[in-house]
Amino acid sequence: MDIRLKSLSDPALAGFDTIIDTRSPLEYAEDHLPGAINLPALSDEERARVGTIYKQVSPFDARKIGGALVAANAARHIAGPLAAHDGAWRPLVYCWRGGQRSGSFATILGQIGWRVGRIEGGYKAWRAMVVERVTASLTTPVIVLDGNTGSAKTEILHRLAARGHQVIDLEGLANHRGSLFGGMPGGQPSQKGFEGRLALALERLDPTRPVVVEGESSRIGERNLPRGIWQAITTAPRIRLAVPVTERAAYTARSYADACADPVGVARIIDSLRPLHPSDRIEEWLRMVDAADWAGLSEGLMRDHYDPRYDKHRSRHDDGRTRVLPIADLRDLDAATSAVEAALAAQEAP
């Protein structure tokens, strides 16, 4: 049974117990449908070998060898990860474009007696919907939570979500805190993976309610913001948190404890800034690393590296609609969140 997905969160997906990506491990690692497991019909090496035979020998020989490999791999999957499933189990399979790999695997599963579905168009059809979603203009009104580095924007965003506000955490989707030291455990998803996560978040929005996003540059770590959300960010009204630099530095020293635990890595990143700053400033920052003066280092980086760049970026997009919200300290983030809530209410008022 072929399933034609009509949306990224098509209810048809909920009718299956397991989504199986039959593509090779490298294809799966780059991107896949949410929640899908990888049971490859062909390994990466086998896929390359069959492709070479297809081009250099003949399509028939490629299909014959490929068919034997798919059958052997399917037998291994059935005897291994699928062995515990009973007759009521319902799998949904796909490959790159719903062709021979998923078709062969689905046929074998169906002959066993499982009620198997196959995604029409495969991953290619899914990816087309993702691209359409992330490049389209947002119909949901957007409000940007802005503020210089260390203003606790992400934590406040999470508290807004917990209080029922509609938010998209772009840094969470990109698994990166958006700064030089913003790497997160597990690394970033691929660009396609990031776009898939974002597309699902956009599809779930209620277009009648505003969505709050954090002010970002066009890149979060190594991932680019797609056109739709980037255009929305650059044109949306803003609430800018104005927090004293000393308070931001103290907050950053607390929240970046994982980075501080790797002083060698911090020193390496600071050393990479030499083309942008005088050598005496770099040496001073490196001395702070040696002394574990994380608050002092944070303040120095904010004053001389981050803040000037924020101010330059902000000047290009400031249309006079920004509401500046003074926040004296960041020790009580619930109070800071309440202040942002009040500003949001004022922003949304007619």
Q: Which segment of 56-60, 161-165, 306-310 scores lowest on mean pLDDT?
A: 306-310
Alpha helices in the chain (DSSP H): 25-30, 44-56, 59-79, 100-112, 122-135, 153-162, 170-174, 191-203, 227-235, 245-255, 257-260, 263-271, 279-290, 294-301, 307-317, 333-348
86 φ/ψ sector (left φ>0, alpha ψ -120 to 50, else beta): beta
- Lay out the sheet containing 117-119: strands in order across: 2-3, 117-119, 91-94, 18-21, 37-38
Task: Please tell me the distance from the alpha carbon of residue 42 to that of residue 73, in angstroms, as a whole number.
Answer: 7
Active site (annotated) includes residue 95? yes
Q: Give 349's pLDDT tier (boundaries 50, 70, 90).
A: low
Q: Given this model, what pLDDT does residue 258 score?
A: 78
User: Distance from CA of residue 264 to its chain's centroid?
Assistant: 27
**How many Å apart are CA 93 and CA 19, to the nearest integer?**
6
Please, which pLDDT band fits residue 138 given cuts at 50, 70 and 90? very high
Condensed to tens digits (0 to 9), the pLDDT of residues 207-263 reads 999 999 999 889 999 999 999 999 999 999 999 999 999 999 999 988 888 777 889
Q: What is the mean pLDDT of residues 289-307?
A: 93
More confident site: 287 or 348:
287
Cα(151)–Cα(327) distance, integer angstroms: 9
- The region of weakest confidence among 126-130, 146-150, 306-310, 338-342 is 306-310
Residues in the chain: 350
Average pLDDT on 59-82 reads 94
> Would you say residue 190 has pLDDT above 60?
yes
Percentage of the chain with pLDDT > 70? Answer: 97
pLDDT tier at 318, thresholds 50, 70, 90: low
Q: What is the reported pLDDT for 20?
A: 97
156 neighbors 337 (Cβ within 8 angstroms): yes
Parallel, antiparallel, or unpaired: how do β-strands 238-242 and 37-38 relate? unpaired
**Which residue would you say has higher pLDDT here, 220 or 348?**
220
Q: Is the pLDDT reported for residue 147 higher than 70?
A: yes
Please report the pLDDT score of residue 78 as a whole number: 97
Spatial separation of the C-alpha atoms in residues 117 and 120, rounded to whole Å: 9
Q: Please give the full DSSP string across 136-171, using - where no structure is assigned.
A: SPP-S-EEEEEE-TTS-HHHHHHHHHHTT--EE-HH
DSSP H or E run through 20: strand 18-21
What are the pLDDT digits (tens) for 18-56? 999 999 999 999 999 999 999 999 999 999 999 999 999
DSSP 305: I
Residues 331, 333, 335, 339, CA torsion sign? positive
Predicted local distance difference test score (pLDDT) of residue 302: 93
Q: Which of 95, 142, 201, 270 is catalytic?
A: 95
pLDDT over 60 (residue 350): no
CA distance 343 to 349: 10
pLDDT value for 181: 83
**Residue 261 class from Cβ within 10 Å (0-12 exposed, 13-18 middle, 19+ buried)?**
exposed
